[in-house]
Structure 1
Amino acid sequence: MARHEVWELAGQAVEVKNLDKVFWPEQGYTKGDLLRYYREVAPVLLPYLRGRPLTLVMCPDGIAAGCYYRRKRPDYAPDWLPYVLYNPKTKAGQVPLVLVENEAHLIWLANQAAVEFHVWSSTTRDLAHPTWLMLDLDPGDATGFGAVLEAARFVQGELEKLGLAGWPKTSGGRGLHLLVPLKPGRYTHAEVRTWAKAFAAQLAERSGGLVRLPRGATHRGEGVHVDYAQNGYGRNTVAPYSLRAKPGAPVSTPLGWDEVEAGGFEPTDFNLETVPERIRRQGDLLAGMREAAFRLPEL
């Protein structure tokens, strides 16, 4: 019989159901494992979710049965689940985008089978101006993760020449994300995307073939593509510490630059089982980013 429990979270009673349902068949990880993971990492995850519109990846019957994206707040959501109204270009009228402000909101959504949490680069305080620039280092299908780490080191060096710095995290897939914190209210999404595109072009010119601009919908061959397109109004990035709906239950995990320098690991090393202990040992390696803010120089 499927287990149901009631968890007291942030002053709310949150019912969690079907805890024995298998979500990752190869490892046997269950919905209960999913919920317990998010409850344990909530203290480091919530600072990156609060106030940011979300896109969720929902997997009601586990990752092997198919998943789908959801942005709209469910009509059946409790009245204490917050949202922000958004006017997408593709629809007439406003759409309520779901928000997560506390542990109860997080676990309620995870109980609805939200496996992945993707966030905007701006917050409800000022949706028009992003708080970070994101560079997605995405390897071609003939490129290993070692080249991604090499590319990250190169990109960080080029950022430092401009008086900037990036904070790295795994994507939860084969790539790496670099987040560059920005001065609040300073740049529009379009300005950040334009700067990121120009910077990516410079990287491609200077890297000796290691770094390339993306071409087409898929990244093929050799080299590491610097995808700047995730910078834009309404675009989103998988949140730090979010699980991914992929075999092995990988996690988008913040890294230290010492780890990027040393290498010798794979993104799959950071997963549902290993990340909570890593956080207990190392804390939040992105915490410094929340205290920094940069102006983008002319290129």
Structure 2
Amino acid sequence: MLDGLSSGEIELVGRKVRLTHTDRIYFPEAGITKGHIIRYYLDISPLLLPHLRDRPLNLERFPEGVGAESFYQKNASAFFPSWLRTFSVDYPRAHKTNRHVLVDDAAGLIYLANLGTITFHAFLSRIDDLTHPDLLILDVDPPDLAGLTREESFKPVVETAFLLREELLALGMAPRVKTTGKRGLHLGVSLDRRSTYNEVRTALTELFTRLSERRPDLMSRAVRKEKRRHRVYLDALRMAMGATVAPPYTVRATAVASISMPVTWEELATLEHSQVYTVANALARVTSVGDLWAPLVTPGA
């Protein structure tokens, strides 16, 4: 287990960031403190930052730790330091504008982690062309069925992921895969930003419809849980402007402080569930394998 950081002032990329209440227990079952989470984010920052940079963020904050009151923050607070960039996004249907925070460097990352941010949620497009996504994310979640173990509910997710991979490879795409850190998987594909969200969503809907018709025993596009029952839900509606994804290496608010971790397709074949990687073992893994999702955000990686 990594050592936690202590309260006090630290300097990162020339900026001073004050850390507070670092001994506060954030994950009671795992014995993980706020200081542990901050230390994890500092150590993982070289890999995580490319997946956050220039993307509007939503913050999932747990100031008193997991299990206590939490909230999503979409608007930057007035007290945020002036060096922490923000970007305004208009939501015409909701008749509002949100001023999302941006994370450029380790100082911004750690400042927000100190505010109790457990999970960062990033847009699928960047601020220089917000209406054209550069990431296609396929979210594969297990069915909600009482009586199934975590491992049993994960098996249809893995099977679905491999079927989606076959379809994407046939279309000339090279999908990557990662655990969500909760119950499912994310498949990711890099896009050239020639298509709008609507165009990408239409193509994704066609793909999901084709697959669910071929394997109605495994997959469903039914929104209502009682209609899809034991089947994996394929949701194309999440591919929309303003939608976000928990990027690789972000912490999830689970009992074990799990991590959304990239894996190889070979590893996925024997992966038991989505919470295998945690704050306690994630750094050792990435030291060994590096960033398996780097090609999605770094040309030529």
Alignment TM-score > 0.5, same fold: yes
Query: Which secondary structure state, in structure 1, belongs to the residue aligned with residue 182 of structure 2?
Result: coil
Letter in 1 for 2:141: D
Corresponding residue number in structure 2 for 1:20: 23
Instruction: Give matches, 1:119-138, under 5 Å.
Output: 119-138=122-141
Query: Which residue of structure 2 aligns with residue 173 of structure 1?
Result: 182
SS of match in other structure, 1:45: helix
The structural deviation recorded for 1:288 is: 2.4
Say whether the 8 Å CA contact 1:219–1:225 is kept in structure 2.
no
Q: Hey, what does 1:283 align to over in structure 2?
A: 290
Give the deviation of 1:269 after TM superposition: 1.2
Show CA shifts across 1:6-57 (max 9, x none).
1211111111110000011111111001100100100110000000000110
8 Å Cα contact 1:58/1:67 also seen in 2: yes
Matching residue of 2:98: 95
- Cα deviation, 1:110-154, whole Å, max 9, x if unaligned, reads 001010000100001110100011111111023611221111111
> How is 1:44-123 mapped onto 2 (pairs within 5 angstroms)?
44-89=47-92, 92=95, 94-123=97-126
Let me know the Cα RMSD of the aligned residues: 1.9
1:216 to 217, 220, 224: 224
Is residue 4 of structure 1 aligned with residue 4 of structure 2? no
The aligned residue for residue 257 of structure 2 is 249
The alignment partner of 1:272 has SS state of coil
Deviation of 1:218 (Å):
8.3
**Measured at CA, do residues 217 and 56 of structure 1 come closer, stay the same or move farther in structure 2, by a change above 3 Å?**
farther
What fraction of aligned residue pairs are identical, expressed as a percent?
Answer: 34
Q: CA-to-partner distance for each residue in 1:44-80, whole Å, 9 max, x for gaps?
A: 1000000000011010111111211001111100000
8 Å Cα contact 1:230-1:237 kept in structure 2:
no
2:166 maps to: 157
Structure 1 Cα separation of the partners of residues 186 and 28 of structure 2: 28
Runs of 5+ in structure 1 lacking a partner?
Answer: 294-299
Closer/same/farther in 2, CA of residues 291 and 6 from structure 1, 3 Å limit: closer
**Count of paired positions:** 290
Number of the residue aligned with 1:228: 236
| SS at 1:168 equivalent | strand
Instruction: Give how far 1:94 is off.
Output: 3.2
- Per the alignment, residue 296 of structure 1 pairs with none
Change (3 A) 1:218 1:133: farther
Aligned residue identity for 1:239: P
Q: TM-score, normalised by structure 1?
A: 0.92
Q: 2:80 is paired with a residue of what secondary structure?
A: coil
Task: Please say if residues 81 and 100 of structure 1, whose CA atoms lie closer than 8 Å, have aligned partners that are also in contact.
Answer: yes
Q: Say if 1:214 and 1:66 are closer, same or farther in 2 by CA, change over 3 A.
A: farther
The answer to whether the Cα contact below 8 Å between 2:61 and 2:116 also exists between their aligned partners in 1 is yes
Given that residues 4 and 16 in structure 1 are in contact (C-alpha distance below 8 angstroms), is that contact kept between their aligned partners in structure 2? yes
In 1, Cα distance between the equivalents of 2:227 and 2:278? Answer: 25
- Going from structure 1 to structure 2, the CA distance change for 1:198 and 1:115 (only over 3 Å counts) comes to same
TM-score, structure 2 normalization: 0.91
User: Structure 1, residues 250-283: CA drift from partner, whole Å, max 9, x if none?
Assistant: 111111111123x143222111111111010110
Aligned with 2:207: secondary structure?
A: helix
Which stretches of structure 1, 4 residues or more, deviate above 4 A after TM superposition?
Answer: 90-93, 217-220
Question: For residue 297 of structure 1, what is the aligned residue in structure 2?
Answer: none
